[in-house]
Structure 1
Amino acid sequence: MNFNRYINVFAILAAGVMAAACSARGDRTGVEYAPQMYHSVPYEGLVQVTDYEAGRWLTSTDEGAAEFYTSNPNNPHSMNMREPVANTVRRGDYLPYRIPKDSIALAGRVLKNPLDSTESVVAEGKVLFSRYCQHCHGEQGLGDGLVGKVFKGVTPYNSRAVKDKPEGHIFHVITHGKGRMGSHASQVSVEDRWKIVRFVQTLQKQ
């Protein structure tokens, strides 16, 4: 009987010692189950180093030396950052100005096309127009595209309301959308939008 009592007391004391040993104090994390799940080896995310050994470096901390990696052999390209899909338009990179969506008039006054109206630029704009715009606006910008015929109300570019709109206005509408037209900023890069603007200006003068 007494023997069992001693065993119980010993077990309680042992459990208390173990609990105290696992407790965290200050910078000590204490004993953790599967610490790799909580404190993984860090990788420098915004680097493109492909040599694993060259990309490994040590730094000293209050707790000693820490190892970091600027190259990741687990990714197909051996880099921490994966290469984006070909022809990806960077999100957040489509607004080279801070003009609110409803400030179309302001955009028309201040935005200027950085591209010249050369034949090559207009030709590229025509190709892009046929890819992204023609289904609604029509080949000649008359609002008679395959979609435009079904969803009526696409204004012709040579109409009185549109034919004198400046280049900044057109760019702003492509970027933000207007009415039933949605934003094309996530699909068309900044440079390509300006090329489309050049071609649309030729349709305004029909």
Structure 2
Amino acid sequence: KLFIGGLSPETTHDRLLDYFQVFGDVVDCVVMTDPATGRTRGFGFVTYRDGRCCDSVLAHRPHVVDGREVDPKRAVPRQEMESSPRSSSATRAKPRSASFTHHVRKVFVGGLPPTATNEMLHRYFSHFGGVEEAVIIHDKQTRTPRGFGFVTFEDPIIADKVVSVHYHEFYGKMVEVKRAEPKADASKSPNRHRQGIGQRFSCL
């Protein structure tokens, strides 16, 4: 299974299928759409009968569909990522951190366009629920945006819902969303269970 990012708003299921079926037998093809508006979310998935077809697609970059270069990547089910040996060892090594993630209200947003603002970040993620804070990180010297930011929700359940979709179409650009948690040094603080502004966060 492949994740196909950067799709044009004009790309339909049939057009996506027509393009990628030349690499092998496609058993499933879907363009993800917003359930409320019916408009494309800018990405989709293609599943081949033979996994070697995925290798062929990745080996023949770049790919252009409907006049736009798309970004194919291997799609890894979330449950497989969580049950991988690397993930399991990390859980055993830091059990407190693992349990803490269930209460994290802050998410990391990467790949933001240079034109993005705090207001745009707040407006987009408010569609999922109450947003307490939305901030784009800037370089301390140049004050230029560094291409990522953080969004803190009022409820950790909302954060869970947001990170269940790894890639979001943010004003025409696909951005990556991950759960954030305090770094190890911050976790040693007496206030480690409070997501204060002064804490440093990393993405999971």
TM-score with structure 1 length normalisation?
A: 0.23
> Greater helix share, 1 or 2?
1
> Larger Cα Rg: Structure 1 or Structure 2?
1
TM-score with structure 2 length normalisation?
A: 0.23
